[in-house]
Structures are given as C-alpha cells and as structure tokens.
Amino acid sequence: MACPRHYRLGSGTALVLLAGILTPAAHAAELVVNGGFEQNAGAGSMGFSGWQAMSQLGSQGGFYAQQGSQSALTPVAVAAPPQGVFAAMSDQPGPGAHALYQDIAIPSGKSATLSVQVYLQNAAAPSAAPATLDFLTVPNQQARIDIMDPAAPWNDVGAGVLANVFQWSGGATSGGYQSIQRDVTAYAGRTIRLRLAEVDNRQSLFFGVDAVSVISSDVTPPASVGADRQGNTVTLTFPPVASTPTETVTGYQAQCVPAGGGDTITATGTQSPIAVSGLVPGVAYTCTVAAQTSVGSGPGSPPVTVPGSPAAAAAPIPAWSLLSTLLASFLVLGGVGLGARRRAVRVLRR
C-alpha cells in the first residue's frame, strides 16, 4: 500500500505563507456601522444598531426611525428617506436636546471621506443657535453635525469639537435632503466621534439624517465634478483618479439623489463623462462620482447640485413661415385699404 507523501517546507517558504496569512488585504472600507439606519427596532422606534442615543434630562422626543413621507411622531409631511427605507429624524411633542453618535476608527495611511444626507423642516419661524445644546437656554432651535473627541461630553460644543461639519440655525425648511461631504483624512490613525445633534425649544424641529458614510481607501476622490443637464439626463465630467500600488482604478460610478427625497439614480463608466438618465423633470438632484477599484469603491467626489430641468424654450419661427405671415398681413391690410378707397370714391360720385 502506498504511503502518503509528506512535504517539508523550507523556512523561506513558510515565512512567505505566514506573511500572506497575517498581512491584511488592502481594500476600500466602509467605516460607519448602520449608516443608513435600516437596522432599527421598527418604524417609529428610537433605537439604531451601532449608534448611541443621548438626550438632556427633561427632554421630550428624540431621533426616530422614520419612513415614507410622514414624520414618525407628529403627523407632518416630510421628505422621504433618500436611501433605503428608513432615515433617522428628530421629532418631539415638546422641547428637548438630542444626539446620536458613533465612534469611528480612521486607519493610518489612507484617505477617508465623510458623506451624509441631511434634511431640515422647522415649524417655528424664529430660530437661534447659541453656543450650547441646552434646551433650557431660550431661544435655542438648531441642528448640527460635528467631529468630536470621544473623551468629550456628548453635548460639548467647545474644545471637544474637532470640526463642525454642518450647522443649521435658520430658515423654515431645507427643501429636501441635501448632500454634505468632508475630507477626514487628517484624522487617520485615531478614533473620532461623529455626532448628530438637535435642540428645539420654539416649536417642532424635524432634522433628518440618512446615508451616513465614511469611506477609507488608498485612492482619492475625484477632485471636482461638472454637470450639464439636458431634459432627464445629466452629463457629469470629472478628472481621472490615479491607481495606487494596492488599488487599481477600474471605472467610475455616478449617483444622483433627488433633492426632495426618493430613489437614487446611478450610472457607471470607465472614464469621464458619465451620463445619468431617468431624472424627473423639474426636480433638482445632488450628484457625486466615485472611483471603482479592484478591491471596492473609493470615496465620493464633492457633491454638485443639478437644478431642475428648465422649461422648454419656444421653437423659433422658420424664416419661410415669418415671410408668409408678413405677406398675409400685407395683403389683408392692403385689401382693407383698397376697400376703403372704393367706398370713398362711391361717396364722392354721389
């Protein structure tokens, strides 16, 4: 009976195999857990996987799992989530201060880009943003997104805030979800806290947040995007993104989000430009472009706003049609003048 063969690996081969096992594969990675708020306890609930919820003592309401085009607690029409089924949206029967936060570790030696979709609807005409999240300070009607030191108190607005990403303190509504983007590569090698916060003590404040993402990658985002809309199609132009030793750029994906909420439209291509079709007439969109690499998707470009398609211009009158119109007018007027002269002659003959 043949005996099984045993292979003896040299030390060099063993080290190569061990290095292959222990060295993590370089890849573009999503660093936010449950950034779309789809993992929750159900519509109208206040719990989101991966997120810590905080409220000031005595506050009413909070951030709820909102779906469709109505707020979770108060029967008010709001914009639908721009991505997936749910968004996190503040709602309240009375004054309060609320926050959702998540700690995010940014890997060393990689680029990282934060992107988020936000919506505001304010039931109170007046608003104010004092340097505090205390709802007992009157007036205080504001919403903000901050990058924070994880050691800072959840409601800090001072030294614990490393960077303010978004600050709202006025206006009745944002007119739909808007895209916000921030380069967070400066925090590579450390853990940051991403905080979503709102305060209301005037009337209801509906602060919707969705599609929260921090993409870490070896490639950079497209530096800028140009947009040219013709009807239901927008053509996006952008500079190329260079490949890196660990990630090869294989193409690009463009996505456009309607300003009032709704389905995201995507298109792909191997280079600039990329045409995105299926836009709804009269609806504005926010569009971004991201490189697709051999190991995943890179960070998105700075967003570009695409206005609603303009009304169709009146068709110019062809030259022959204009000439015919003028000739007909001349003949009519000439006929009227000739008839008048004939009547005058008959009167004189009498």
Beta bridge partners of 81: none
pLDDT averaged over every residue in the chain: 83
CB 236 within 8 A of CB 305: no
Q: What is the pLDDT of residue 172?
A: 58
The encoded tokens of residue 28 equal 């573009």
Q: What percent of the chain has pLDDT over 90?
A: 66
The predicted model gives 186-194 an average pLDDT of 96
Sign of CA dihedral 25, 31, 36, 42: positive
What per-residue confidence (pLDDT) applies to 40?
98
Q: What is the pLDDT of residue 171?
A: 64
- Mean pLDDT for 35-55 is 97
The string of pLDDT tens digits covering residues 285-296 is 999 999 999 888
Write down all domains in the chain, each with its CATH number in brackets. Answer: 25-217 (2.60.120.260), 219-308 (2.60.40.10)
What are 223-278's pLDDT values in tens digits?
999 999 999 999 999 999 999 998 999 999 999 988 866 778 999 999 999 999 99
Note the pLDDT tens digit of each residue in 107-161.
Answer: 998 889 999 999 999 987 667 889 999 999 999 999 999 999 999 999 999 999 9
pLDDT value at position 174? Answer: 66
Q: What does the DSSP assignment read for 66-118?
A: EETTB-SSS--B-PPPSSSSEEEEEE-SS-EEEEEEEEEEPPTTSEEEEEEEE
- In degrees, rounded to 5, the angle at the alpha carbon of residue 152 between the alpha carbons of residues 147 and 157 is 60
